[in-house]
Amino acid sequence: MEYMAEADPLQKKLMILADAAKYDVACTSSGVDRKSGGQGMGNSKACGICHSFASDGRCISLLKILLSNDCIYDCKYCKNRLSNDVPRATFTPEEICQLTMGFYRRNYIEGLFLSSGVVKNPHYTMELILETLHLLRDKYQFHGYIHVKSIPGADEDLIQRAGFYADRMSCNLELPTAEGLKKLAPNKDRKMILKPLRQVQQGILQNKEELTVYCHAPKFVPAGQSTQVMVGATPESDYQIISVAEALYKKFALRRVFYSAYVAVNEDNLLPAVDTKPPLLREHRLYQADWLLRYYGFRADELLSEQHSSFNIVLDPKCDWALRNLEQFPVEVNRASYEMLLRVPGIGVTGARRICMARRHATLNFNDLKKMGIVLKRAVYFITCSGKMMYRINFNEDAITRNLLSIHERLPIEVQESISGYHQLSLFDDSQAGQWQIPLPALREVVV
């Protein structure tokens, strides 16, 4: 990093600690509506606002930094592990406030995302984080968005207090299964990570009751919790990953589970080789499935099963599901329930809602659907309007699969570029997944 030579000390720190934080995917600023009330600085919009987009196309909405990368843990997948020789830096709480306020004032960011390596011990780290939040909210009167990590192993009281300052808290599971975590992160264990998640979940529930009684009670983590799992560092199957995600949504009431394609940064015989490309298509499919779980009423065991444990490379999870359940199709657009419309490939939440709204006033035909902005490319094989399909279609799995495959799926560009490499990689993944398969009952137990 020779370009850092002439930079001033704060800039140097900023670059080290932003670089260390970049693998954290969560950068959402959504979930809270708050007005500044004419004082201090800042407000928050429930829809979230992206302020810029980085060279990798990901949104920059929060000032995403670590408080420190001077970590005492030695997690094998992490760039800042103890045994790596990387430049180390630690912000003072006052410095973080200066940067956050300065950036926010110029509308560069929507708020702060504060994570940290473990300095000295979890308590000490959480104390530093708490002090930063306290300064920002109380001294600088900052009303913008704050996303903060709860450090596993820190005192419950500290996490509780941070929760009253923050909008969202998160605690990364890092690896989908406890076994994987034990192998790659010797200093962490699953229970330790789940503890703060559970604590914050209970805090939120309790706070909800308080809020119904006193509407001005201080809000506890109003934007909920999220977590992140790495994909491709260990050989868990897609089915295991989405089952874990489903359990997290149900049991821990998480707002989001983020998936991050593992970028190989460290040399280790337990990890993929350093020149392995991140499994971007797999990450993409997991996000698609994640949406199906959260907004489309699908269950994990509908999308995949133990026998059929990884996502189709060439078809998105919804098309894949529809093809395996052709007996439920075609559905009649003018009569099908909202839930069934949601299950039609090509029709999304907005589309289904619009159809339900518009069909109250007129019988819809394909032309109307088109005008309403429903994309018929895929949907056309699965729907009828007044009992007729758009054109004569050979309604069997093979024919529809062939037609669907001839549609050029618009993948994110980065995924498209990596796709030629993925084909080989996925075969490799599958074979490896077979060897490593961890029996599912054990997995369920872990999540509960």
Partner 1 sequence: MKTPRIYMCEDSLEGILSAVHAAYMSRYGHEYQSIAAGDYVEPSLFSEMIRIETDVDKAARVADAVIHKISGYAWHMVKYAAMSCYMDKADTIYRFLVLGFRIGRKVTEQLADPVVNRMMKLERGVMREKDRFYGFVRFRELNNGILFAKIAPKHHQIPLAAEHFADRYPMENWMIYDERRHEVCVHEAGKGWWIAKDVTPAQRIISDVSDGQKQFEQWWKSFYETIGIKERENPRCRMNMMPKMYWSNMTEMMGK
CB of 142 to partner 1, least distance (A): 11
Could you tell me the CA-to-CA distances from 65 to 53, 234, 375 in Å, in that order? Answer: 16, 26, 40
| Residue 310, C-beta contacts closer than 8 angstroms, at least 6 positions apart | 237, 238, 239, 304, 426, 429, 430, 433
Tally of residues, the chain: 448
Q: What letter would DSSP give residue 135?
A: I
Alpha-carbon gap, residue 228 to 245, rounded angstroms: 10
For partner 1, give the closer residue by CB, 99 or 154: 99
- Asked if residue 119 lies in contact with residue 125, where contact means CB atoms within 8 angstroms, the answer is yes
Among residues 349 and 357, whose Cβ is nearest to partner 1?
Answer: 357
Query: Min. distance of Cβ 51 from partner 1 in angstroms?
Result: 4
Q: Are 297 and 285 in contact (CB under 8 A)?
A: no
Distance CA 307, CA 192 (A): 32
Phi and psi for 254 in degrees, rounded to 5?
-70, 150
**From the CB of 178, what's the least distance to partner 1, in Å?**
27
- Of 188 and 354, nearer to partner 1 (C-beta) is 354
CB of 162 within 8 A of CB of 182?
no
Give the Cα separation of 350 and 356 in Å (integer): 10
Q: Which residues bind partner 1 (CB under 8 A)?
A: 7, 10-11, 14-15, 18-19, 21-23, 35-43, 45, 47, 49-61, 63-64, 99, 102-103, 105-108, 110, 261, 263, 277-278, 280, 354, 357-358, 360-362, 364, 368, 371-372, 412-414
Minimum Å distance from CB 197 to partner 1? 26
CA–CA gap between residue 279 and residue 245 (Å, rounded):
18
Closer residue to partner 1 in complex, CB, 16/221: 16
Dihedral (C-alpha) 37, 38, 43, 46: value to the nearest 10 degrees? 40
CB closer to partner 1, 216 vs 360 = 360
In degrees, rounded to 5, the angle at the alpha carbon of residue 14 between the alpha carbons of residues 9 and 17 is 120
Residue of 110, 162, 165, 114 whose CA lies nearest to 141: 165
The residue whose two tokens read 């618009």 is 410
Residue closer to partner 1, measured from CB, 58 or 377: 58
Least distance from partner 1 to the Cβ atom of residue 154, Å: 26
Of 106 and 216, nearer to partner 1 (C-beta) is 106
CB of residue 372 to partner 1, shortest distance in Å: 5
Q: Is the dihedral of CA 412, 54, 58, 15 positive or negative?
A: positive
Q: How far is the CB of 107 from partner 1 (least distance, A)?
A: 5
- Cβ at position 379, least distance to partner 1 in Å: 16
373 or 439: whose CB is closer to partner 1? 373
- Our CB check for partner 1 shows the closer of 255 and 354 to be 354
Task: Output 357 or 405, the one with its CB closest to partner 1.
Answer: 357
Q: How far apart are the C-alpha atoms of 387 and 107, rounded to whole Å?
A: 53
Contact 236, 177 (CB under 8 A): yes
Distance between CA atoms of residues 122 and 182, nearest Å? 19
Please, what is the minimum distance in Å from the beta carbon of residue 98 to partner 1?
10
Please state, in angstroms and rounded to a whole number, the distance separating the CA atoms of residues 281 and 411.
8
Least distance from partner 1 to the Cβ atom of residue 56, Å: 4
Please count the other Cβ atoms lying within 10 Å of the Cβ belonging to residue 389: 15
Element (H, E) at 11: helix 9-21
